[in-house]
């Protein structure tokens, strides 16, 4: 771990995301193998929330507060305790308390200090509730999406644990845990049935086949990837990091492009028009969560575009960690007008011009922006 202004913050963030990935994997395995859905709830906006969402948020909140106890830790995160606090959610809360304590008990494996005694329900609810910052352009704010891509998560498919640090309105650190994203690019193409039917990987199999954690720091010009920790392994900086870089492809005909799976907050028909206008030949890779950013940073895909349907507002926790990792790996991230994303205006990416475009380099980016303008004028959006 090199010395830098954010050395401690990055060190803690990477270790904590490793812990969160381990937690979420255990919950996902339970969900996929069980016919019961008592660990999944629907929120007011019809999106899903699971035991893993609350458990990861509580774990990360507690660990950050303990690690930086001399600071006023500000955390922006997706979940609140409203559902968990209801009288009919006693079973859910019990499951969250058990899951969090199991995870915190493993903190020493990751070189972190856990609590002396198991946390009670009130302490865990408090840890979740502490994540109530609204961000902004002043001060430091951690930004967490405990389980990005919950629909993929409950299906046994791709999802991510995303943690970023924003200082004075700029993203300075990004860590992205992708528990189901191995080095085998073709795994991105398989749906959740593939994961369910897949034999469990043994501890002797390739460590890179079991998912990864990616991270980057602003201005370093480098992005890195580590394999997840499994079994009795202990976290070790010295022998596990591998540098990642974006793809060198600049020909649209050879480029692979990603888009969200869900149609609710993404306009697939407009994306198809842009792809045609730009000369993209390959079928889109529809991937849950910020794993799309990871795919660009690792060179497994060249383009990610998202054009939300009218009225949908992009939230900062859905993009912060992914954006900095792609940029430091050599990629370009802007809105559809070519402007940088603004993380200084609270919970949402305000002022966004139509959508978000992510490319492996400037050549494809310029062509993509041109295709967006051409397609926009011929569409009725």
Q: Which residue has the tokens 């609710």?
A: 264
The full length of the chain comes to: 381
Quick one: which of 295, 279, 284 has its CA closest to 358? Answer: 295
Q: Is there a binding annotation on residue 148?
A: yes
Judge whether 206 is annotated as a binding position: no
CA distances from 266 to 129, 239, 311, 313, 354 (A): 30, 40, 11, 11, 11
318 is in an annotated binding site: yes
**3-state DSSP assignment of residue 244:** strand
As a dihedral over the C-alpha atoms of residue 87, residue 93, residue 94, residue 99, rounded to 10 degrees, the angle is 170
Sheet of 332-335, strand order: 285-286, 257-259, 303-306, 356-359, 332-335
Question: Which residues are known to be catalytic?
Answer: 53, 150
CA distance 355 to 184: 29
Q: Locate all alpha helices (DSSP H) within the chain, ordered by sequence.
A: 7-33, 51-67, 90-104, 121-129, 150-154, 192-197, 268-278, 291-298, 320-328, 362-378
Whether residue 239 is annotated as binding a ligand: the answer is no
As given in the structure block, the two tokens for residue 15 are: 């270790």
Q: Which segments are annotated as binding site for Mg(2+)?
A: 78, 145, 148, 318
């Amino acid at each position: 771990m090199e010395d830098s202004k954010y050395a401690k913050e990055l060190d803690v963030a990477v270790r904590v995301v490793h812990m969160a990935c381990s937690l979420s994997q255990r919950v996902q395995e339970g969900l996929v193998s069980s016919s019961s859905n008592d660990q999944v709830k629907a929120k007011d906006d019809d999106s899903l929330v699971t035991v893993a969402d609350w458990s990861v948020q509580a774990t990360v909140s507690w660990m950050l507060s303990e690690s930086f106890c001399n600071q006023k830790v500000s955390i922006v995160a997706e979940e609140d305790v409203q559902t968990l606090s209801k009288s009919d959610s006693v079973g859910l809360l019990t499951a969250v308390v058990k899951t969090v304590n199991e995870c915190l008990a493993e903190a020493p494996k990751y070189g972190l200090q856990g609590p002396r005694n198991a946390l009670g329900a009130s302490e865990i609810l408090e840890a979740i509730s502490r994540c109530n910052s609204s961000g902004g352009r002043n001060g430091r704010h951690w930004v967490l999406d405990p389980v990005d891509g919950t629909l993929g998560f409950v299906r046994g498919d791709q999802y991510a644990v995303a943690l970023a640090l924003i200082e004075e309105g700029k993203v300075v650190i990004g860590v992205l845990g992708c528990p189901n994203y191995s080095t085998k690019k073709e795994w991105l193409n398989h749906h959740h049935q593939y994961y369910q039917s897949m034999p469990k990987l043994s501890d002797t199999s390739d460590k890179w086949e079991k998912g990864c954690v990616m991270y980057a720091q602003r201005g370093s010009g480098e992005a890195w990837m580590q394999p997840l920790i499994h079994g009795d392994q202990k976290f070790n900086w010295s022998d596990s990091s591998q540098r990642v870089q974006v793809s060198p492809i600049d020909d649209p005909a050879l480029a692979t492009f990603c888009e969200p799976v869900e149609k609710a907050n993404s306009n697939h028909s407009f994306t198809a028009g842009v792809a045609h206008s730009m000369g993209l030949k390959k079928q889109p890779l529809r991937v849950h969560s910020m794993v799309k950013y990871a795919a660009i940073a690792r060179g497994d895909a060249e383009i990610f575009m998202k054009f939300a349907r009218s009225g949908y507002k992009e939230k900062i926790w859905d993009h912060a960690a992914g954006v900095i990792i792609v940029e430091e790996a050599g990629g370009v991230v802007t809105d559809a007008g070519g402007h940088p994303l603004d993380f200084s205006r609270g919970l949402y990416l305000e002022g966004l011009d139509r959508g978000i475009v992510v490319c492996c380099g400037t050549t494809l980016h310029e062509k993509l922006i041109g295709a967006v303008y051409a397609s926009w004028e011929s569409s009725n959006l």
